[in-house]
Amino acid sequence: MDVVQQKQLKGLRFVFLKNNEDLPEDARRILKNMRGDFQDLGDAYMFRETLRSIYIRSKTSCHARIAFHRWCRLAEETDIPELKTMAKTIRDKLDGIVSYWTFRHISNASMEGFNTKIRWLIRQAYGFRDSEYFKLKIFQLPEISCEKEL
């Protein structure tokens, strides 16, 4: 990618990061033009949207499994190494991914968020010497805000 293309992309990253249905009409036009100029980036965006649609449209774990296999097969046929890597990761973790439908759309997002808060607490304290005090601070975490004030 040359310098001109980098400058062209620099201010338009937000377009690729937003969900398609959340884009205003002018951003959709920009996205359409950018997908033509940057084929791999456009393909990656479409694959991302396809992954999102699997979560929206699949009603059972069987349907999701079939859709993920189809997505992986298509991703492996592209010339984009990142999509091939993603397809391999999805194939390796497919049982865990499909469990989202098996267990009524329950994910471990809240657990991951709480673990992030614990890591934040450790960084703030630079290590605790008293393990009992540390446990008490963990129980207090739900009431503590981890956001920086600007």
Q: Which tens digit of pLDDT belongs to each residue from 10-36?
A: 777 777 778 888 888 888 888 787 777
How many C-beta neighbours within 10 Å does residue 104 have? 6
Show me where the domains of the chain are located. Answer: 9-102, 109-143
Residues 41 and 148: their CA atoms lie apart, in Å, by: 33
Label residue 149 by pLDDT band (50, 70, 90). Answer: low
Nearest to 38 by CA among 62, 70, 16: 16
Which tokens belong to 29? 């036009």
Please, are residues 47 and 83 in contact by the beta-carbon 8 Å criterion?
Answer: yes
Label residue 37 by pLDDT band (50, 70, 90). Answer: confident
Q: Residue 18: what pLDDT?
A: 81
Is pLDDT at 1 greater than 70 in this prediction? no
Please, are residues 41 and 63 in contact by the beta-carbon 8 Å criterion?
Answer: no
More confident residue, 63 or 116: 63
Residues 95 and 91: their CA atoms lie apart, in Å, by: 8
Which tokens belong to 19? 């969900």
